[in-house]
């Protein structure tokens, strides 16, 4: 109940801030929508030149992209730590966090919550729904249950990877580190793995498992893709990634010695 109360208080503060600068709020929403629209247009442009991509049709790829947007939007909303190093390490705000009784990571996540990002998840859901009908895929309680479990697993993968990478900030004061590079790599997870060489396939599946936030779990619902069994590993991969990321974070916190002069 204590932590639930904190969530409510942080969300109230967020709402007050956004109501003060309403134009910034809508600009952020619009820019996010334009970014997602650009990615969708890219898919349509690709399929203007080819009927299939590694055996995947346009509607199937849009379906995958729709799925990709759902966990991504939830991750950005609740687990966004993009500016952690500059704000909390370089500027010394981590010291403020550690003087409070609540778990440090929980506080930081709430301070960086970004509710407008959930709009992307809603759009992804609509895209999936449209393609679900166009592809004539079966839809029932089983599919809904599996979809929810897959989404939770994918969000945990995002969290685990980025928390693990963010924990490097405790050993280095670089403003962003390797986060921009990994951020660009994650988009490869929404395309068929067979279009990449063997190294990239292994990288995206088992090292930085971004394939489990896009193409692999989405393929569970599309017949004939040969990845249905692999897709069932999504929750397990999520748990492992989450555990590794949280462990590395807790180790990093113990190494932290405060802001410099």
Coil, strand or helix at 56: strand
Q: For 186-232, give the DSSP string.
A: HGGGGS-GGGS-HHHHHIIIIIS-GGGGTHHHHHTTSTTSS-HHHHT
Does residue 59 lie in a domain region? yes
pLDDT of residue 261: 47
- What digits encode the pLDDT tens for the residues 81-112? 888 888 888 888 999 999 988 899 999 999 98
Q: What percentage of the chain carries pLDDT values higher than 70?
A: 96
Does residue 75 lie in a domain region? yes
Tell me if 113 sits within 8 A of 149, measured CB to CB. no
What number is the average pLDDT over the span 228-248? Answer: 96
- What digits encode the pLDDT tens for the residues 35-93? 778 888 888 888 888 888 888 999 999 999 999 999 999 999 998 888 888 888 888 89
Does residue 165 lie in a domain region? yes
- 184 pLDDT band (50/70/90 cuts)? confident
Over 90: is that where the pLDDT of 9 sits? no
- 193 pLDDT band (50/70/90 cuts)? very high
What number is the average pLDDT over the span 214-223? Answer: 93
Cα 24 from Cα 158, distance rounded (Å): 26
Distance of CA 204 to the CA centre of its chain: 14
Does residue 260 lie in a domain region? no
- 174 pLDDT band (50/70/90 cuts)? low
Does residue 261 lie in a domain region? no
pLDDT of residue 115: 84
Does residue 208 lie in a domain region? yes
Does residue 136 lie in a domain region? yes
pLDDT of residue 97: 92
Q: How many domains, in total, are found in the chain?
A: 1
Q: Which domain holds residue 69?
A: 2-255
Quick check: pTM over 0.85?
yes
Q: Which residues sit opposite 53 in a β-bridge?
A: 56
Give me the chain's average pLDDT, please.
Answer: 88
Angle at 215 between CA 120 and CA 157, to 5 degrees: 70
Does residue 74 lie in a domain region? yes
CA-to-CA separations, 63 to 34, 35, 85, 111, 134, in angstroms, rounded: 19, 18, 35, 33, 10
- What digits encode the pLDDT tens for the residues 112-136? 888 888 888 999 999 999 999 999 9
Tell me if 234 sits within 8 A of 216, measured CB to CB. yes
């Amino acid at each position: 109940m204590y932590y639930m109360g904190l969530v409510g208080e942080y969300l109230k503060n967020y709402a007050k801030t956004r109501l003060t600068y309403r134009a910034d709020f809508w600009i952020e929403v619009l820019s996010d929508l334009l970014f997602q629209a650009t990615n969708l247009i890219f898919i349509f442009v690709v399929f203007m030149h080819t009927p299939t991509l590694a055996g995947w049709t346009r509607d199937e790829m849009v379906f995958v992209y729709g799925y990709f947007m759902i966990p991504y939007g939830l991750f950005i909303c609740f687990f966004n730590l993009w500016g952690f190093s500059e704000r909390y390490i370089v500027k010394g705000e981590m010291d403020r966090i550690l003087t409070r009784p609540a778990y440090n990571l929980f506080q930081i996540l709430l301070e960086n919550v970004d509710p407008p990002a959930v709009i992307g998840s809603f759009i992804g859901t609509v895209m999936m729904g449209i393609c679900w009908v166009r592809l004539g895929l079966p839809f029932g309680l089983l599919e809904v249950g599996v979809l929810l479990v897959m989404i939770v697993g994918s969000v945990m993968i995002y969290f685990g990877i980025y928390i693990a990478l963010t924990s490097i900030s405790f050993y280095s004061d670089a403003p962003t580190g390797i986060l921009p590079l990994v951020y660009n790599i994650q988009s490869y997870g929404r395309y068929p793995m067979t279009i990449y060489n063997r190294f990239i396939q292994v990288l995206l599946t088992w090292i930085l498992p971004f394939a489990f936030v896009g193409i692999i779990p989405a393929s569970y619902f599309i017949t004939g893709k040969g990845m249905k069994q692999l897709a069932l590993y999504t929750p397990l991969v999520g748990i492992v990634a989450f555990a590794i990321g949280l462990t590395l974070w807790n180790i990093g916190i113990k190494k932290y010695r405060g802001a410099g002069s």
